[in-house]
Structures are given as structure tokens and as C-alpha cells.
């Protein structure tokens, strides 16, 4: 049975052609991309060693060898980090799979008090632990605002993206958002292979969404911690928002996702309208 490491390396080999790396192609190719022996030659390792690594039989690869393979495959920084996580699990002790847990009370107060920003506290599986009123109205006005308070009703941003038709309509470029979401989830799964709740989420989405399954099989990885997203909001129209993701420093793997609009833009005016609509009116 193919390992996660083997699948990752095979998909990375498949996207490179011999001519891409200055090699001459000989003979008919049954599968696309570089052959194992060609990749081993580029990385300066033996064919036997590389085969054992791809098959998951070697978990003591040195930094030098992994760097050579990453360079040969032209991996970016996120992909190279993912390769190290998969290749040397024994050298990276994993915390036990955590039960779903709530945000700390202080975190909930912080998120609720934030203004001028749509703020969401989430765990590593992208379960929503807390959101302020603006984030709730931006991403999930059709959900109960208090749904993050319970494990049973807690929204999951990735599940919403693939299985909730309202969320699909929210993103002006849904395909790009889907690609980034799956690539981010792949990176998390490589860091936490023993998280059964994460595995259950991946299994559920693979069964219920052919689009998720196809993207997951591509084994793309991405540390998506900032950027821009386009929304077509049902109440305020088109929004182009910047986002930032920061990690809480308490070891919980909880993260804070924040959306803001550039000052003086139509998106800023629409975002202000959205925020005002969430503010309780005085009695």
C-alpha cells in the first residue's frame, strides 16, 4: 500500500519532465514525469536508497539527502517542510490526538471585542471556536451565531466550503479558495498524522465531495497565512478583503483568522456597512 510519503514524492515526480531538468528522455513512458532512477540521479543518491525512501522503508534520511531531493524536485519551502515531516516522523514526536476543545474564555472575549475586522478563532482542523459578529455575518449568516460554543454544532470552514451551497456561492473565485483550503489541510495532516478527528474530516469530505477528493489526490501543500480573498456577499455585494492568520503562542495549535478591507476602497465601504449591520441597536 502506498504511503503518504510515497504518494507525495510520486506526484512531485509526475509534474516534472526530463527536459525540464536538462535530461534526455529515452524510451516510452508508461507514467508521466520523471522516473525514480532519474530523480535519484538528479539528487545524487542511489536508486536503491531512493526507492526505499519512497516506499517508506527509511525514516532516517539526513537533512542533506532531503534537501538534495527537494532541490531535484524543485520543491518550494512549504513542500520541502512537508517532505521532512513525512520522511522523518520518528524524529518529530507528535502530540496525542486532542479531543475537540473550546477556545479559552480570554480568546472568546478578545475575538468578540475586535472591531474593524472580521475575526475567527479556529483550531488546526479549521473548526470555528469563536467569531465576532462581523465574521459571522461575513462567512455564515445562515448559521446560528452561537454555534461555535458547542462541539456538536461547531462549524468547520473546510466542510462548509465543499458541502454548504451558501458558502460556495459566497466566494467569487471558489476554485482558488478550494485549492488553497485543501493544500493547507494537507500541510496540517503531514504535521499531525495521528489526529483521528482530522482523518475523519478528510474521509468525510473525500466521500461526499468529488472535488475535494480530486484536489486531495494532487497532494499540493501550502502554508496559507496571508493573502486576498474575493467575496460576493448576499447583503453587501462584492468584497475584496485581505486576510492574516496568526498562531496562538500557548501550544494549543489554535489560530486567529482576520479579514480587513483596504482603506478608501469600495470594499471598505461595503465592509463598514456589513459591520454596522451587526452592531446591536440601542433600545
Indicate whether 173 belongs to any domain.
yes
Grid cell of 107 as nine digits? 480568546
Cα gap 258→135, rounded to integer Å: 8
Please indicate, yes or no, if residue 169 is contained in any of the structural domains. Answer: yes
Distance (Å, whole) CA 128 – CA 145: 11
Strand partners, 171: 231
Residue 30 domain boundaries: 4-91
Residue 160: pLDDT band (50, 70, 90) is very high
Give the mean pLDDT of 168-192: 93
E strand spans, 104-148: 118-122, 128-131
Whether 8 and 122 share a structural domain: no
In a domain, 283, yes or no: no
CA atoms of 165 and 232, how far apart (whole Å) = 13
Q: Are residues 171 and 71 in the same domain?
A: no
What global pTM score does this model have?
0.81
Question: Is 212 part of any domain?
Answer: yes
pLDDT band at 26 (very low <50, low <70, confident <90, very high): low
Q: What is the pLDDT of residue 28?
A: 62
In a domain, 99, yes or no: no
Residue of higher predicted confidence among 74 and 22: 74
The reply to whether 156 and 256 lie within a common domain is: yes
Same domain, 259 and 158: yes
Helix axes 196-208 and 174-191, enclosed angle (nearest 10): 150
The DSSP symbol for 148 reads G
Do 51 and 184 belong to one domain? no
| Domain identity same for 138 and 228 | yes
Residues 176 and 248 grouped into a single domain: yes
Find the distance separating the first CA and the last CA of the chain, reported in whole Å. Answer: 64
Can you give the CATH number for the domain in which 200 is found? 3.30.450.180
Of 246, 263, 268, the residue nearest 255 (C-alpha): 246
Distances (CA, A) of 78 to 74, 85, 132, 251: 11, 11, 30, 21
Which of 57, 91, 125 terminates a domain? The answer is 91
53 in the same domain as 184:
no
Contact 121, 254 (CB under 8 A): yes
* Residue 98 counted as domain residue: no
Beta strand 226-233 with 255-260 is unpaired
Same domain? 137 vs 182:
yes
Please give the tally of structural domains in the chain: 2
Last-in-domain residue among 56, 91, 126: 91
More confident residue, 98 or 56: 56
- Contact, 243 vs 228, CB < 8 A? yes
Radius of gyration of the CA atoms of the chain, in A: 22
| Residue that has been written with the C-alpha cell 475535494 in this structure | 212
CA angle 119, 168, 204 (to 5 degrees): 90
Of 62, 91, 120, the domain-final residue = 91
Looking at every residue in the chain, the average pLDDT score rounds to: 86
Q: Could you give the C-alpha distances from 61 to 66, 68, 83, in angstroms and in order?
A: 7, 11, 11
The residue to which cell 486576510 is assigned? 243
Could you tell me if 156 and 221 lie in one domain? yes
- Distance CA(43)–CA(37), nearest Å, equals 10
DSSP E strands, 164-261: 226-233, 237-247, 255-260
Q: Are residues 132 and 9 in the same domain?
A: no
Same domain, 10 and 87: yes
d(CA 171, CA 95): 34
65's grid cell = 539527502
Read off the pLDDT of each residue in 19-48 and give the average, rounded to a whole number: 76
220-267 pLDDT per residue, tens:
998 989 999 999 999 999 999 999 999 988 878 899 999 999 999 999
Contact 230, 262 (CB under 8 A): no
CATH number of the domain bearing residue 45: 1.10.260.40
The answer to whether residue 16 is domain-embedded is: yes
Q: How many CB atoms lie within 10 A of CB 39?
A: 22
Cα dihedral sign, 130-131-136-140: negative
Amino acid at each position: 500500500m502506498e504511503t503518504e510519503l510515497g504518494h507525495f514524492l510520486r506526484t512531485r515526480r509526475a509534474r516534472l519532465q526530463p527536459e525540464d531538468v536538462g535530461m534526455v528522455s529515452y524510451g516510452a513512458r508508461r507514467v508521466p514525469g520523471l522516473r525514480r532512477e532519474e530523480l535519484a540521479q538528479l539528487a545524487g543518491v542511489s536508486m536503491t536508497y531512493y526507492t526505499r525512501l519512497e516506499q517508506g522503508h527509511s525514516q532516517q534520511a539526513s537533512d542533506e539527502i532531503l534537501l538534495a531531493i527537494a532541490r531535484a524536485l524543485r520543491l518550494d519551502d512549504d513542500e520541502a517542510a512537508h517532505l521532512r515531516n513525512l520522511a522523518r516522523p520518528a524524529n518529530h514526536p507528535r502530540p496525542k490526538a486532542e479531543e475537540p476543545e473550546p477556545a479559552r474564555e480570554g480568546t472568546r472575549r478578545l475575538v468578540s471585542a475586535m472591531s474593524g475586522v472580521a475575526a475567527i478563532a479556529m483550531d488546526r482542523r479549521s473548526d470555528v471556536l469563536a467569531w465576532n459578529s462581523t465574521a459571522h455575518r461575513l462567512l455564515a449568516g445562515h448559521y446560528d451565531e452561537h454555534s461555535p460554543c458547542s462541539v456538536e454544532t461547531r462549524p468547520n470552514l473546510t466542510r462548509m466550503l465543499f458541502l454548504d451551497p451558501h458558502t460556495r456561492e459566497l466566494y467569487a473565485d471558489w476554485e482558488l479558495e478550494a485549492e488553497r483550503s485543501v493544500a493547507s489541510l494537507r500541510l496540517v495532516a503531514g504535521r499531525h498524522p495521528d489526529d483521528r478527528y482530522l482523518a475523519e474530516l478528510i474521509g468525510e469530505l473525500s466521500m461526499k465531495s468529488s472535488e475535494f477528493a480530486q484536489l486531495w489526490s494532487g497532494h499540493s501543500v501550502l502554508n496559507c497565512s496571508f493573502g486576498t480573498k474575493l467575496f460576493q456577499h448576499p447583503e453587501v455585494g462584492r468584497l475584496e478583503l485581505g486576510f492574516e492568520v496568526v498562531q496562538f503562542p500557548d501550544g494549543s495549535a489554535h489560530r486567529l483568522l482576520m479579514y480587513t478591507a483596504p482603506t478608501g476602497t469600495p470594499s471598505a465601504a461595503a465592509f463598514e456597512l456589513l459591520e454596522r449591520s451587526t452592531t446591536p441597536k440601542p433600545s
